[in-house]
Structure 1
Amino acid sequence: MDPDTVAALRAQGGIDGAIDADGRVPHGSSDDPELLDFSANTNPTTPPGVTGVFEDAFDRARSYPDDGYPEFREAAAAFVDCEPGQVVPTAGGLEAIRLAIQTTVRAGDAVLVPRPSFGEYAREIRLQGAEPAFVAHDDLLDADPEPYALTIVCNPNNPTGETAAPDALRSFADRCRDAGTTLLVDEAFLGFTDDPSLAGREGVVVARSLTKLFGLPGVRMGYAVGTGDHLERLVTARRAWSMSTAAAAVGTHCYGQTAFVDRTRERVDRERERMRERLRTRFGVAPSDAPFLLLSVSDTDVDALLTEAREAGIALRDARTFRGLDRHVRVAVRTPADNDRLLEALAV
């Protein structure tokens, strides 16, 4: 990207500055056992049999895992409807995102990034010496991809929660391909919906995580999906033994639990709508297809609301750390009993 374009984007507020001094992006999740955690968007339940699978993997963990991960690749490919050879296992979805950016972006490139959205995109782009150029998340599919080495779509978007219209997303993917611009689609929450994955589409790299849908963030299960030259670069750059023996076994098991996935989707759809109806009596509530809701706190101080919830034993996600949000919190959709506690604590 030429210096004049970079300068123009900075002047418009479209390119962020350098990495913050601590180099880290704020995330949800509370380690306080006294708090009911609504700040992280992971499933509060896990698939049946997963504990036994994890324990059974212990003895096999005394040897290196099979670096081909054939069973995991087969299971992941069946879930997203692609070829097993297109699946590149990683230690979580974030590693898949980093792998996609590392193999696509060079110093001086510009990358189109939605806002507000997952903060790690900008961090990973800057680590490559490239520049994130921000556009409103709901305008991104109308943007011209040609000036960018990479465009990123978060589907459903975090923290707002809405999915991209499938036809519009496929059309944008085609425009990116025609422009020679790689499209990275982060599908970390897409498993909570019935929408199709873009896995296996030419010119697209998909990043997937099992963390959210199966409620196991500490196991670190994820993968990228690519085709053609993108796939070759992903395979070449992937670390050897990129998933642990336990992660590969648990991930393979989880993707076979179709009844669990169906129950999870039904519960999240039902509870999200129930929560929205109650919460909208006090807050603005963004439309969502994901296991979380973004609340606009127009008449209440955000810090006071966070404190109010914490005093009731509940952790909320301070959404002011997302670019462009200044009076917002995000709440997960959990079990009916947990959600009742939240609604009571927020007096709605």
Structure 2
Amino acid sequence: MQLPAHGANPRRLYEAMNMDMPSSYIDFSVNVNPFPLPDEYMPTEQQWVRWMSVYPEERSETLRAIIAEREHVTRSNVFVGNGAAECIYLLAQQFAKKHIGIIEPTFSEYERACETYGCTIHSFLLDEHGQPPIDQIIERLSFLHALFLCHPNNPTGTVWPKETMHALLKAAHDEKVFVIVDEAFYDFWLDGYSVSSDLPMFDRLIVLRSLTKMYRLPGVRLGYVLAHEYVIKKMMEKQPPWSVNTVAQQLGERLLRDDEFVRRTKVHIASERDRLFTQFAKLGYIHSSSVVNFYILQDETMTLFPFLLQHGIVARHTLNFRGLAGKYIRLAVRTKEENDRLLSYLRRWNM
């Protein structure tokens, strides 16, 4: 049985599980914002037509300038890509045939991208609380050229103390090791910290961001990188021209000018996540200590996953996350009504 490698593919999942797809289902496997963009952000029909009829800026110059101002860097420190995935693969290309560390369980595309370019992978496993083996990682840095980590982490939603992160960044800087911190879910972390403010201190720090998750734009594809200008220059040398389409550029320019939608989403996600976790505790379910819009729930016997599927609750399996072995499922924090439907089936399963 070969299950889809990522979430957001329910039809393929039901086929792989040899199950009939129900007429109504909720996709908890996709970890994007459950709320649509407000109408004021959406372009008119005439704007859509105009955007699709002109070439995009070759290197997203206007959007890069907006991001630079927002992140307090210069435009030469910003790269805009066709989704975070393009950024990951272009970075892996820079590290071709080198020794690369990956802190796991985490997003599988880091390993896949690095293997595409002939890298040797060194894995470091988070503990049961989602914390890194920091001493082991620091001890092994001298063998590495670069280190990938996701923070907040996918699929656990967990984060590290700021002191731990800074200890790693300092040690990597001393060993001249690149550290790629994927902050694709940073926008969902209420009162969280970003390492982007550390860029002036650590010239081998690379920060990856995504607009796909918060702004619910997986079909548009838009992500960016913050890094030293020589890293950005190398990425641009390998990026095909017009890689980011006009619609993505225009939406990015609009969305990054207003933080209110992000603020409202953060507050809702934090409130709903806390409510869910309170109910899980009452029902005896074990979950990760997530701070974002998804979490993993223990499924030791690997039977909760098909039960939920049967009732139209699509979870994300963890068979391809190193260290989880399918004994957890990943679920998104969605609207109150949708979360209540999930809880109703978890109560039935727990009876």
- TM-score, structure 2 length as denominator? 0.85
The answer to whether the 8 A contact 1:25-1:119 is kept is no
Aligned to 2:6: 27
Where do 5+ consecutive residues of structure 2 fail to align? Answer: 12-22
User: Aligned AA for 1:178?
Assistant: D
Is 1:196 the counterpart of 2:185 in the alignment? no
Q: How far off its partner does 1:164 sit?
A: 2.4
* Closer/same/farther in 2, CA of residues 314 and 78 from structure 1, 3 Å limit: farther
- Equivalent of 1:124 in 96, 113, 116: 113
The answer to whether the 8 A contact 1:96-1:208 is kept is no
Aligned to 1:94: 85
Q: Number of residue pairs matched?
A: 321
Cα distance in 1 between the residues matched to 2:4 and 2:313: 22
Q: How far off its partner does 1:88 sit?
A: 0.6
* Closer/same/farther in 2, CA of residues 69 and 53 from structure 1, 3 Å limit: farther
SS in 2 for 1:52: coil
Q: Which residues of 2 match residues 90-169 of structure 1 at below 5 A?
A: 90-103=81-94, 105-107=95-97, 109-137=98-126, 138-142=131-135, 143-144=137-138, 145-169=141-165
Q: Which residues of 2 match residues 1-348 of structure 1 at below 5 A?
A: 26-32=5-11, 34-48=24-38, 49-52=40-43, 56-103=47-94, 105-107=95-97, 109-137=98-126, 138-142=131-135, 143-144=137-138, 145-193=141-189, 194-199=191-196, 200-201=199-200, 202-280=203-281, 281-298=283-300, 301-302=301-302, 304-326=303-325, 327-347=327-347
* Closer/same/farther in 2, CA of residues 77 and 34 from structure 1, 3 Å limit: farther
Q: How far off its partner does 1:230 sit?
A: 1.6
* Closer/same/farther in 2, CA of residues 58 and 308 from structure 1, 3 Å limit: same
- Structure 1 segments of 4+ aligned residues over 4 angstroms from their partners: none
Q: How far off its partner does 1:31 sit?
A: 4.6
Percent sequence identity over matched residues? 28
The answer to whether the 8 A contact 1:47-1:257 is kept is no
Deviations 1:149-170 (A, max 9, x none): 1101100111111122223223
Cα distance in 2 between the residues matched to 1:136 and 1:160: 12
SS in 2 for 1:213: coil
Cα distance in 1 between the residues matched to 2:61 and 2:45: 18
- TM-score, structure 1 length as denominator? 0.86
Cα distance in 2 between the residues matched to 1:81 and 1:191: 17
User: Aligned AA for 2:132?
Assistant: D
The answer to whether the 8 A contact 2:77-2:229 is kept is no
User: Aligned AA for 1:26?
Assistant: A
The answer to whether the 8 A contact 2:76-2:229 is kept is no
Cα distance in 2 between the residues matched to 1:175 and 1:54: 52
The answer to whether the 8 A contact 2:52-2:247 is kept is yes
Q: How far off its partner does 1:244 sit?
A: 0.4
Cα distance in 2 between the residues matched to 1:269 and 1:217: 22
Cα distance in 2 between the residues matched to 1:258 and 1:243: 23
* Closer/same/farther in 2, CA of residues 154 and 170 from structure 1, 3 Å limit: same
Cα distance in 1 between the residues matched to 2:163 and 2:85: 26
* Closer/same/farther in 2, CA of residues 54 and 231 from structure 1, 3 Å limit: farther
The answer to whether the 8 A contact 2:142-2:175 is kept is yes
Q: How far off its partner does 1:305 sit?
A: 1.4
Where do 5+ consecutive residues of structure 1 fail to align? Answer: 1-21
User: Aligned AA for 2:5?
Assistant: P
Q: How far off its partner does 1:34 sit?
A: 2.7
* Closer/same/farther in 2, CA of residues 168 and 83 from structure 1, 3 Å limit: farther
The answer to whether the 8 A contact 1:25-1:123 is kept is no
User: Aligned AA for 1:44?
Assistant: P
